[in-house]
Amino acid sequence: MRILIVEDDPLIGDGLKNGLRLLGYAVDWFVNGQEGDHALRAVHYDAVVLDLGLPSEDGVTLLTRWRQAGIDVP
């Protein structure tokens, strides 16, 4: 299973990444919405962990755009 993390806080992002990798997941971590958006459109992910309070573009806006584009990854 491949998981995308979009989280700008280094402590939270690193903890999630390392914990999920220890459980056997393939994990990609990005610190802003633009990079996360590009990754989600380029690679198949089974799940996304999305920070709602991203600095440049909030997670709700990003999620809304994904849903409007037909991207339904949980």
**Helix, strand, coil share of the chain (percent; to 5):** 45, 20, 35
Q: 């989280």: which residue's tokens?
A: 7
Distance CA 5, CA 59 (A): 11
- Answer yes or no: are the C-beta atoms of 33 and 63 closer than 8 Å: no
pLDDT value at residue 56: 83
Q: At what angle do helices 59-68 and 33-42 cross, to 10 degrees?
A: 30
pLDDT value at residue 54: 92
pLDDT in single tens digits along all 74 residues of the chain:
999 999 999 999 999 999 999 999 999 999 999 999 999 999 999 999 999 999 888 999 999 999 999 999 99
- Answer yes or no: are the C-beta atoms of 49 and 16 closer than 8 Å: yes
